């Protein structure tokens, strides 16, 4: 395996000193920023995530901040999800598409106030799209990337750890809601959310200077909880069907293909870019869609799309795959043509190590 080269362009985070001290072994780059991928081993990290509590440097979930009188209008232009019922204090998972309905990102919208939003982004420079739209439509809104870096606390003991640092009130935060909590005199947005199915929180750390103090406070408070540094876990996120933009869907795909049709209220999301195209898609339905797929045998790391074959015919592709200790199979995410997407369909996946038998699953594992 090649190492990752140091440069300012691949940005460090406010938590990088802690991540390094915790012995990070692998990185990826996400939004031009370092994102840890493994500490002890992907399997050890996986078991620990499912039984204990981890602190995650997910600062790479950069925020696009919208401020100004047109912020809410702009937000609705950016997503086919109907935002009319959304209140300050709520987080919405919002697919974002271009004028043809192709996905540009799948961020979480954080409504701070009617005229102030954060868009917590997946791996694409969504800021540039938003700035282009604002400029083209001459909207009265400021768009920028603020000094806000999410820190994840994930795993079954997350509530206990968080309560020790922020007080018992954090236990009352409902899923995809956030509240304001004090840390060293600063008020931080704390949401019940995160890129795992093990429960937990994301702290929107505003101000890089308190990154390491908060990191250290969590580790200090969690010693007897066996807290470890962690990161989004490849195995667990596939088991849970948590999609990764750039891996499982790209600009080539509609939200409906990505299985995100339920987040598209295209009829009522008036003004959203791509509405015409998505109305058509919603009417006809997608011809391919994300599926959980199990794969037999040994597989290499999935660093490219693996063709899914029915005999000689390509009927889809696998884009994420890993060996699951808990389910004793290779768990995978793939895009499958409608002719072959029914649960139980047997297919062949062409990996760089050769063909493997695969089975379309009725649902994800977690």
The binder of a copy of itself chosen from 15, 18, 38, 152 (CB under 8 A):
38
Q: Is 125 in the site for a copy of itself (CB under 8 A)?
A: yes
Give least dist CB 35 to a copy of itself, A: 9
CB atoms within 10 A of CB 116: 17
Between residue 288 and residue 317, which ones bind a copy of itself under the rule CB under 8 A?
301-305
Q: Which stretch binds a copy of itself (CB under 8 A): 5-13, 64-72, 158-166, 354-362?
A: 5-13
Q: Is 123 in the site for a copy of itself (CB under 8 A)?
A: yes
Looking at beta carbons only, is 12 or 116 nearer to a copy of itself?
A: 12
The binder of a copy of itself chosen from 10, 43, 163, 279 (CB under 8 A):
10
The binder of a copy of itself chosen from 44, 99, 147, 209 (CB under 8 A):
99
Tokens standing for 32?
């031009």
Number of residues that bind a copy of itself (CB under 8 A): 50
Please measure the distance between the N-terminal and C-terminal CA atoms of the chain and give it in whole angstroms: 31
Nearest to 117 by CA among 179, 68, 177, 82: 68
The binder of a copy of itself chosen from 49, 71, 104, 366 (CB under 8 A):
104
Tokens standing for 28?
């990826």
Rounded to 5 degrees, what angle do the CA atoms 274, 139, 122 make?
50
> Can you tell me whether residue 307 is helix, strand or coil?
strand
Looking at beta carbons only, is 169 or 304 nearer to a copy of itself?
A: 304
Tokens standing for 278?
């998505």
Site of tokens 């540094």: 229
Q: Is 109 in the site for a copy of itself (CB under 8 A)?
A: no
Q: How, if at all, do strands 306-310 and 313-324 pair?
A: antiparallel
Q: Please say whether the beta carbons of 301 and 247 come within 8 A.
A: no
Tokens standing for 247?
């891996």
Q: Is 320 in the site for a copy of itself (CB under 8 A)?
A: yes
Q: Is 28 in the site for a copy of itself (CB under 8 A)?
A: yes
Transcribe 54-92 into DSSP letters: EEEE-TTS-EEEEESTTHHHHHHHH-SS--TT--TTBEE
Which residues in this chain contact a copy of itself in the complex, by CB under 8 A? 1-12, 24-29, 32, 36-38, 98-99, 104, 123-126, 128-133, 135-137, 244-247, 273, 301-305, 319-320
């Amino acid at each position: 395996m090649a190492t990752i080269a140091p440069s300012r362009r691949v940005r460090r985070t406010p938590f990088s000193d802690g991540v390094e001290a915790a012995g990070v072994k692998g990185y990826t780059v996400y939004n031009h920023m370092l994102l840890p991928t493994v500490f002890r081993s992907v399997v050890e990290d996986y078991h620990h995530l499912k039984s204990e509590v981890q602190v995650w440097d997910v600062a790479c979930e950069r925020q696009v901040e919208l401020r100004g009188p047109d912020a809410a209008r702009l937000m609705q232009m950016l997503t086919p999800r109907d935002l009319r019922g959304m209140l300050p204090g709520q987080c919405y998972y919002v697919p974002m598409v271009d004028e043809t309905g192709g996905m540009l990102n799948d961020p979480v919208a954080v409504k701070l106030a009617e005229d102030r939003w954060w868009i917590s982004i997946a791996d694409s420079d969504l800021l540039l799209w938003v700035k282009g739209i604002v400029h083209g439509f001459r909207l009265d809104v400021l768009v920028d990337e603020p000094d806000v870096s999410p820190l994840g606390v994930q795993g079954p003991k997350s509530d206990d750890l968080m309560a020790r640092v922020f007080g018992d009130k954090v236990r009352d935060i409902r899923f995809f809601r956030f509240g304001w909590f004090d840390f060293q005199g600063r008020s931080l947005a704390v949401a019940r959310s995160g890129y795992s199915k093990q429960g937990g929180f994301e702290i929107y750390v505003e101000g890089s200077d308190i990154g390491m103090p908060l990191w250290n406070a969590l580790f200090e408070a969690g010693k007897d909880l066996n807290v470890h540094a962690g990161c989004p876990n490849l195995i667990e996120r596939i088991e849970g069907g948590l999609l990764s933009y750039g891996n499982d869907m790209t600009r080539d795909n509609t939200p409906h293909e990505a299985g995100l049709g339920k987040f598209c209220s295209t009829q009522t999301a008036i003004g959203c870019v791509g509405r015409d195209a998505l109305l058509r898609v919603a009417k006809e339905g997608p011809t391919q869609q994300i599926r959980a797929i199990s794969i037999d045998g040994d597989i290499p790391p999935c660093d490219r799309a693996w063709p899914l074959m029915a005999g000689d015919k390509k009927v889809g592709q696998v884009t994420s795959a890993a060996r699951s200790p808990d389910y004793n199979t290779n768990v995978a995410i793939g895009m499958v043509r409608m002719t072959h997407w029914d649960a139980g369909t047997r297919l062949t996946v062409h990996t760089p190590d050769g063909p493997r038998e695969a089975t379309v699953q009725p649902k994800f594992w977690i």
